[in-house]
Amino acid sequence: MEEKRKVTITYQDIANLESKFTTGAIGGITSNKLIFMNFFIDKVSIPKVVVQEVNEDLSLGEEINSSPSEGIIREIHTSLQFSVEHAKSFIEWINKRIEEINTFEENKINYKMIIDQVAKPSLSYALEKDCKVEGTIRLKDIYNLDPNYFGFTKFMKDLNKINTKLKLEGIRFSLTCPDLVPEFQKLEGKILRFLNFIEPNKMSITLTREKSIYMILYKDSYKILIETYIENDNDEIEGLVTIYENNKIALDKYGKHDFLFKEVTNLVKTPYGLQI
C-alpha cells in the first residue's frame, strides 16, 4: 500500500464570508528547478482560524473535507516522492484538460504551450530520474470573483460544492533533479520562476535572458503582464519586484532600483486585480 503523505491545512481568520473564486499561476525552469502551479477551489465558508494536520492520500480531483473545523484553506504543504502512478495520473489529467484550456485572450498566456513544453516533459523526466517533489498550494486572498472574468467557465462548471470542501485540481510543485536534459535548457528565459513572497507588494523572482512576457502575482492575488528586456544573453537577475503608485515596475537588486521595467501607462485596477 502506498504511504499517505502528510498535509498541513491552515485557515485564515475571516468572519462569516462566502466566496466562489479560482486562481492559477505558472512557473518555469531556471537552473535545476521546475515549478508549475494550477489549482481551482470551491465556494467556502470562513468563520474562524483553525490549523490542523491530516493524513490524506490526495488524488487529482479529490475533495478534501475540512470538517469538523471550518475555514478557508490557505495553504497545503506536501512533500512526496512522485511515484510512477501519480505522474501517469497527472499526465492523463493534463491530456484531458488540454482541449478545455484555451489561450487567455485577456492575459495572452497560452496554457496549452505551458503544459506541452513544461508540465508533461517534467513529469516524464521525473519518472526517469526518480526526482523528489516538494509542493505548496497557496490560495489567494478571498475575493468574490466572477469566474467568467478569467475565462474559467469550463473549469467552474463542476465546482458547485459549498461550505468547507476543496476540490484539488492540480498542485504547484518544485522538481529538483541532479541535472537537466538539454531540452529543458531551451526553456530558460521564457517563463517566470516563482519564489517566496517577501512583502505584500513585492515578490522575489529570477529573470533570465531574452525579451519575454511575464506574469506577476501582486499582493498574492493581482495579476499583471509586463514586458522586460535583459541586455546580456548571460544575465540572470534576482531581486524584489515592486509596483509603484506611478505604475512603474522596478526590480530592487541589492537594495537599489537599478533595473527598471517599462512604464505601464494603461494599468487599470479592478475588483479582480490589475489589468493592462
Same domain, 72 and 141: yes
pLDDT at 11: 25
Strand, coil or helix: 30: strand
- Give the pLDDT score at 106: 39
- Residues 70, 200: one domain? no
Domain boundaries, position 267: 192-275
**CB of 155 within 8 A of CB of 167?**
no
Residue that terminates a domain, selected from 144, 176, 208:
176
pLDDT of residue 211: 29
What's the pLDDT score for residue 89?
A: 53
Domain boundary pick from 176, 209, 231: 176
Task: Give me the sign of the Cα torsion angle 46, 166, 111, 36.
Answer: positive
* Domain membership flag for residue 210: yes
Residues 169 and 254 in one domain: no
260 phi and psi, to 5 degrees?
-115, 130
Indicate whether 208 and 248 sit together in one domain. Answer: yes
Number of domains in the chain: 2
| Within-domain flag for 233 | yes
The segments of the chain whose pLDDT lies below 70 read 1-276
Compute the radius of gyration of the chain from its Cα atoms.
19
User: Residue 92 has what pLDDT?
Assistant: 56
Same domain, 246 and 140: no
Indicate yes or no: pTM above 0.85: no
Residues 149 and 244 in one domain: no
| Spatial CA neighbour of 149 closest among 214, 105, 99, 112 | 105
Looking at the DSSP bridge assignments, the partners of residue 173 are 36, 135
Judgement on whether residues 235 and 271 belong to the same structural domain of the protein: yes
Q: Domain check: are 209 and 150 in the same one?
A: no
Amino acid (one-letter) located at 240: L
Q: What is the pLDDT of residues 49-105, one digit of tens each?
A: 222 333 333 333 333 333 323 333 333 332 223 344 444 554 555 455 444 444 443
| Residue 33 resides in a domain | yes
pLDDT for the residue 116: 52
Distance CA 143, CA 149 (A): 13
Query: In what helix (H) or strand (E) does residue 125 lie, and over which residues does it extend?
Result: helix 120-129
107, 215 contact by CB (below 8 A)? yes
- Whether 157 and 220 share a structural domain: no
Q: Does 184 fall in a domain?
A: no
Euclidean distance between CA atoms 65 and 232, whole angstroms: 50
Residues 145 and 204 occupy one common structural domain: no
Shared domain for 140 and 166, answered yes or no, is yes
From 117, 149, 176, give the residue that closes a domain: 176
Residues 6+ apart with CB under 8 A from 193: 27, 28, 29, 30, 33, 35, 205, 206
